Amino acid sequence: MRTPVTILGAGAWGTAVATLLAHNGATVKMWCYEDEVAHDITTNHRNKKYLPDIKLSPSITATTNLPEALLNAEWIFEAIPVPYIRSILGKIDPQISPTVLTAPWVILSKGLEHNTLKLPASIVEDVLRTPIHYVVVSGPNFAGELASQVMTASVLAGNNQKIVLRLANLLATSYFKPIASDDPVGAMVGGALKNVMALILGIAHEAPFSHKNTTAYLFAQGLNEIAIITQHYGGKRDTIYGLAGLGDMVLSCTSTTSRNMQFGVLLGRGLTLEQATQQFHSEPEGVATLRSLQKFVTRTDLDIPLCRAAYHCIFEGRPFAQALTDLWSL
């Protein structure tokens, strides 16, 4: 029997995970915001807007109708950009779609909600008004490479280890290695904040100070600040020194394939935030996360100067050279 799976969100990462599930025999129903994307996935077996180079399995279909997407789902994968999770899930009526209360959730989103500073799993629970069984998928994963069946590993971190192991069995292939963890908070914080660090390292890549020594310092300082914030949220520092922290940072902060680093490079070349955004379908995740992180910074006395500097550079236009000088004087 094919396992029926729902994926909420049809961006590059949600689509890549759909290919993995279909490879393992699942029947995947994707919920899309855009009619043209849903039509493209179902009719043409492509997602030309977000993952154009990948041919999709016929067992992957899509709809813009939420109740239809959720019907009979045994697993619900949430892949919605964090700023929109609350508004989209708020449209679900559990009486019409009872699977949202019974099926385990798989959290693919990365970021912090701006007003509440909640992590994605907490947003879902807040909207549904009930605790859920969930697993966070986090690690060094470029969507295109996963969909192309490049050997990939990722952390599966959940609040119920039996469900973590069930999910590992659902996802494991010859090219995808799941690694079980009991620290979903650490996995979510690491996944969110590495995007912020990719922005600042992208700026550094193009700045007059784009030297290897400087980059290594920024990378190490960024990793340490992510660990500090993880502990503040109740996660484990050790998680950040593994695949969901260090591994994800290496991928996102050392390759211009990363959307967040690409965006930082544009800023480092002198483009404004608005000008850089025009070159993307939407702002990369790190920009929204950094907006939220600034609120976090003002509410705490944590020693996270690089996070502060990133906000000043990206939203207030402070020259990177000045931000670096400020860091050096601490």
Of the candidates 33, 2, 34, 5, the one whose C-alpha atom is nearest the C-alpha of residue 17 is: 5
What token pair was written down for 33? Answer: 């915001």
Cβ atoms 120, 89 nearer than 8 A: no
Of the candidates 193, 75, 67, the one whose C-alpha atom is nearest the C-alpha of residue 132 is: 75
Angle between helices 184-206 and 285-299 (to 10 degrees): 110
What token pair was written down for 285? Answer: 């995740």
Q: Of 194, 212, 236, 295, which is the active-site residue?
A: 194
Residue 62 backbone phi and psi in degrees, to 5: -145, 155
* Residue 86 CA: distances (Å) to CA of 23, 47, 133: 30, 25, 18
- Strand locations in 59-151 (E): 60-63, 75-78, 105-107, 134-138
User: Is 212 a residue of the active site?
Assistant: no
Q: Where does 172-272 have alpha helices with state H?
A: 184-206, 212-233, 237-240, 248-253, 259-268
Q: How far apart are the C-alpha atoms of 252 and 195, rounded to whole Å?
A: 7
| Residue numbers annotated as active site | 194
